[in-house]
Chain A
Amino acid sequence: MNNGHSFPGRLIAVEGLDGSGKSTQIYLLKRWMEMHNLKVFFTEWNSSLLVKEATRKGKKRQLLTPTTFCLVHATDFADRYERQVLPLLRAGYIVLADRYIYTAFARDIVRGCDPRWVRRLYSFAVVPDITFFFDTPLDVALDRILGGRPKLKYFEAGMDLSLASDPYDSFRLFQGRIYAEYKKMVATEHFMVMDGMLPVEQQQAMVRKFVEPKIDLPSFRWRVRR
């Protein structure tokens, strides 16, 4: 793994299950940095049209195996990484990523890909300076997502794993396995674990307090008035 990058920028990633509140937290972190006039960029993970089409086709026709599912998403990730994340880090931005390589690790390993192979596949990507893991009990995260009875897509529900014939049951089992993979990574990948059950503003205060001593924020101020 590409430990400790030497780029002038800094990378902060948030990970966690759907419904863990991570997107809210990274959005609030971005707002805070913007209001302090820092060079911050939130990667929206817009894939290029080309890669997106291939992914969509594969998913729609249910053509994907664990290996091709992994590779299609790695291609997508690489595209966004090479076009956005890496140039931003080199240009000295604080880059905020809603989900990063660990999402892929958890998902692909649950699907049965060789963990070592998956990790090496993503070894071109820098390790974040900080990775927050928003830990919400599985039931809570599931209730938040499934409460609205959303229409679950085939791969999203993990239907390809044949865990259950009902998409909602399948989703629950699938997310449970992903959660277990995340928990395994807490120590090995040095996640900063956040209690996703705390009030939003309390979590955000903790996030900011954790970031401040780790990153020399004043050095990321815009030098020129925009």
Chain B
Amino acid sequence: MSALKKGKRFYGTTLPGCDPTQLRGKLIVLEGADGSGRSTQVEQLNAWLENLGYGTVNVGLKRSMLVSEELDRAQEGNILSRTTLSLFYATDFADQLENTILPALRAGFIVLADRYIYTLMARDIVRGADPEWVKSLYSIALVPDAVFYLRVSPQQLVERNFKKNTTLDYWESGMDIGLSRDMFTSFIRYQQLMQAQFRRMQEAYGFEVINGNRTPRTIANELRARVQTVLAIPTP
């Protein structure tokens, strides 16, 4: 990717106190809905990279030291209004960015992100937030070296979610938006709305789309090949 040659940069202004030229590591992002196989792929990629001798650090949503517990409780109670919840998630992201991602990149690690700002942005926009506001909010983010988006059809997602949890998740079904009182209908419509947002972001943010309807092994092989290019690992 061209971002590699140009070095690290932020979508907006560089964060206070950060020197992008010192970020020696690589930031690789996997995006995709729950049930897209995303977390499995992150795990496998992680193992593969460690096997090659790379130091890795994993980040994801709701894992910050600062607000992750509070975010969990906010979701359980569904008590926060839209803008408040958006900003709460942004706080969680910023905390991980500054306290985990940037230090790891400075130390030359490969940071594997199990979702990044794109899911957060799509969720906010689907819930009616002003796209320009959301874009500006997350302009504090570092531009990743690669973003892979695992696209799985909503029908497939339903099946995989049932397999994993036996029920559909309230938030992943977008039940808070009131698309339908029927959870199945709501799930399908919500996932379609999310995919439409991802399609819109694809060009602007340069995602590489991976067909996630295939077997985990096929997907893993494709991901490895693509990451190999990003990291400029010579083929054995």
Contacts and interface: CB of A to CB of B under 8 A. Distances in A.
Interface of A: 48, 50-51, 53-54, 57-58, 63-68, 71-72, 74-75, 78-79, 81-83, 111-114, 116-117, 120-121, 123-124
Interface string B66-81: 1100100110000111
Interface in B34-85: 65-67, 70, 73-74, 79-84
B87 interface: yes
Given A65-B17, A111-B16, A123-B133, A58 B66 contact: yes
A117 B74 CA distance: 26
B215 interface: no
Contacts, number: 92
Interface of B: 12-13, 15-17, 65-67, 70, 73-74, 79-84, 86-88, 90-91, 94-95, 98-99, 130, 132-133, 136-137, 139-140
A57 B66 contact: yes
Given A64-B66, A120-B136, 13 more contacts: A50-B74, A54-B70, A71-B90, A72-B66, A72-B91, A78-B86, A82-B84, A112-B17, A114-B12, A114-B13, A117-B12, A117-B139, A120-B133
A34 B141 CA distance: 47
16 contacts: A48-B80, A50-B73, A51-B84, A54-B66, A54-B91, A63-B99, A71-B87, A71-B91, A75-B87, A75-B88, A81-B83, A112-B17, A120-B133, A121-B136, A124-B83, A124-B130
B70 A51 contact: yes
Contacts of B82: 82
B79 A48 contact: yes
Given A68-B66, A78-B84, A117 B13 contact: yes
Given A51-B70, A57-B66, A78-B83, A68 B133 contact: no
Contacts of B86: 78
A79 B83 CA distance: 8
Contacts of B84: 51, 75, 78-79, 82
Nearest to B70: A54
A66 B83 contact: no
Given A75-B84, A117-B12, A63 B65 contact: yes
A82 B79 contact: no
A58 B130 CA distance: 28
A67 B94 contact: yes
A46 to B, nearest CB: 14
A121 B80 CA distance: 18
What 5 pairs between A and B have smallest CB-CB spacing? A82-B81, A112-B16, A75-B87, A71-B91, A114-B13
